[in-house]
Structure 1
């Protein structure tokens, strides 16, 4: 049988991705699921390991191995060659490169030979300092020429790029979450919280009805759990019954366990969780003291479950919060004292937490539906390709 003409084949999108866990992996999986449902051919090139290969395949993508490390280094030439090989095998209509490493290798491999979207998911130069940070910024300025669109997940992320001298064709499409998946388990928040805590393997010294803060995220320098642990003894001085659960794992886990052992009672390392919803629902407050972000998913997921959040004032944070909550729910990054004071104000006020949680739930349902996000990204693809979208697709109104 003769091969199908290229023009008659479905539009093929190659997602080149280095992080195989965490928020980037969830964003890519959501995009793949929506694009496959719309009739696009989605291919994911990513390193082995982690969750992305499995979840992307289950969402309908073809998954190919692209070997790449998180940090820059001597392996970059091989990573570029590997990206070029994936491009040659897939022959995509459009390349969507996610994160700094994929943005670097993917753009050097393609060099403008096909429509290219680069999505930093937080800027590389925020993650490193010194000579490495300066080199990362020089690359971002230079590499923008090989992106038909630089896609940011918050206005703050775009402004940060512009401020640092990156000249690009910009789009801003905010992250979203699956509101059917992330939602309160019970209409009554108190009952929802009690049932969630009963499900979880909480330590014996965690009171069933005591104030519980939960931090969800990869345990690493970016997410700032070390800042939270430095703040914790100050918090216990004002709210002695407070408890903290750190949900996730990562390279800093053992070091932070040692810090926690010296910081006072009431800190539990829960490890990675296949389903974080019970932890979110068990919380009185979800806290994420990141050093940098584009727009973190964990606060959006917590709000969708009806839980208030306390976040550091990094890119995307102000845009995540309900109007008016910034005064209470934002703290300066890398400031343990300010974090402890904010934790104390919130955890000591259950009625305030209930009010903030309801505002958060309504805000998430209004502003952060993942269907709106994925629809906008697919619309961007069609714009760059100069192809009309099929008219028979049902889409959420923007």
Structure 2
């Protein structure tokens, strides 16, 4: 893989530099969320290159299959003492944090030891609190142009420190789009709708339930929500009150298989960065209906059919879904379009090469 990243006349020097890199990633969680999956995709890519890599994070599902990756478990979100101990034990040349709080703490611990910190910005945040303490790292990797604009315009980070590194590289793309299912041409067979995410205010599962209930009044549907969280019980109660046919199935690591079995992904998020669930749906050739705040990167020609303004009523949202899915040929064409767009953008080497270049540059400068 190194050969694809650089010309032959510098390969030997580059291999030597890469072998001297030591990168410690700091994660807020080891769950199966989008930010964690992006982080672990980067970790595995670096390890394939020969970069010595370790992770400090709480124990969790995403680390279960990490093999011999060096791990420094924390009790909950990593604190200053735990990050400091991991730094002293691993002796990294660069720290890479994956949430705003972790970047602040890692930045302090790293500066005390002369180690540069970079960070990922995964989300467009709903408020601008703690502006003076946010996004102070040497490099900031925004997962979308919207996140980059927030970091620069709202948090006053200098633009030269910000790089846009889309999430799409974290998603394996199906060789061929599965295509729409038989359900779209059989009026009495329920459509299958999927929701994915931690059940919190951000993902707004209560609106998902409400939209599904109204869609079910137009024609038969069945929905599933993958994920857990504090709004699980309220969502179940609301589904019972509205008669919404939603199964709450908890966690799943078989996201591709789940998407292959449905007709559409439905996102009702209040805020996002570049949602991995939508990218995964596109990678499987599945269409995505979403609120504007879900930040779904729909091809421009499809936005009018699949993206609604945040102020759209649940009734109108449900009608939009019904009208669109009722045209099976149109859905088939749109499925091909989103799959082709995902395949075009899924290039790990091209996406992560700027991060590797920053690691090499910052590591070569010595103490900060």
TM bucket (normalised to shorter chain) is 0.7 to 0.9
Residue 118 to residue 252, structure 1, CA distance change in 2 (3 Å): same
Aligned length: 343
* SS of alignment partner, residue 249 of structure 2: strand
Task: Give the Cα separation in 2 of the matches to 1:290 and 1:255.
Answer: 16
Scaled by the length of structure 2, the TM-score of the pair is 0.84
The 8 Å contact of residues 230 and 263 in structure 1, kept in 2 or not, is answered as: yes
Alignment of 1:356-375 (within 5 A): 356-375=334-353
Q: What is the distance in 2 between the residues matched to 1:363 and 1:234?
A: 31
- How much does 1:61 deviate? 2.3
Q: Could you list the runs of 5+ residues in structure 1 that have no partner in the other structure?
A: 1-5, 70-77, 127-132, 198-206, 388-398
How much has 1:246 moved relative to structure 2?
Answer: 1.0
The reply to whether residue 34 of structure 1 matches residue 13 of structure 2 is: no
String of CA shifts for 1:192-238, please: whole Å, max 9, x gaps.
x46xx9xxxxxxxxx99432211122222211211111223332333
Instruction: Tell me, yes or no, if structure 1 residue 246 matches structure 2 residue 225.
Output: yes
1:121 match: 122
Q: 2: CA distance between counterparts of 1:350 and 1:82? A: 54
Structure 2 distance, partners of 1:214, 1:9, is 43
RMSD, matched Cα: 2.8
Secondary structure, aligned partner of 2:64: helix
SS in structure 2 of the partner of residue 35 of structure 1: helix
- Show the counterpart of 1:155: 145
Write the distance in 2 (CA, Å) between the matches of 1:345 and 1:29. Answer: 39
Q: How does 1:18-33 map to 2 (within 5 A)?
A: 18-21=28-31, 22-33=33-44
Match in the other structure for 1:164: 154
The equivalent of 2:64 in structure 1 is: 54
Q: TM-score, normalised by structure 1?
A: 0.78
Q: Confirm or deny that 1:331 pairs with 2:308.
A: yes
Contact 1:227 1:334 in 2 (8 A): no
Matches within 5 A, 1:1-398: 10-21=20-31, 22-48=33-59, 50-55=60-65, 57-58=66-67, 61-69=69-77, 79-111=79-111, 113-123=114-124, 125-126=125-126, 135-140=129-134, 144=136, 147-168=137-158, 169-177=161-169, 181-183=172-174, 189-190=179-180, 193=181, 209-238=189-218, 240-314=219-293, 316-317=295-296, 320-333=297-310, 335-337=312-314, 338-386=316-364
Which whole-Å deviations, capped at 9, do the CAs of 1:229-272 have from their partners, x for residues lacking one? Answer: 1223332333x212211122222212211111112242122221
Which residues of structure 2 form unaligned runs of 5+? 1-15
CA-CA distance at 1:88 after TM superposition: 1.7
- Kept after mapping to 2: 8 A contact 1:310/1:330: yes
Q: After alignment, is 102-111 or 12-21 more displaced?
A: 102-111
Asked if the contact 1:155/1:316 (under 8 Å) is kept, the reply is no
Structure 1 match to 2:12: none
Contact 1:175 1:370 in 2 (8 A): no
**Structure-2 change in CA distance of 1:289 and 1:171 (3 Å):** same
CA contact (8 A) 1:157 1:315 kept: no
Distance 1:182 1:219, change over 3 A: farther
Does structure 2 conserve the Cα–Cα contact (< 8 Å) formed by 1:10 and 1:39?
no
Q: Structure 1 residues 334 and 67, CA, compared in 2 at 3 Å: closer, same or farther?
A: farther
Q: Is the 8 A contact 1:284 1:307 kept in 2?
A: yes
State the distance in 1 between where 2:18 and 2:202 align.
Answer: 44
**CA 328–91 in structure 1, closer or farther in 2 if over 3 Å, else same:** same
- Looking at structure 1, the residues matched to 222 and 278 of structure 2 have their Cα atoms a distance apart, in angstroms, of 19
8 Å Cα contact 2:281/2:288 also seen in 1:
yes
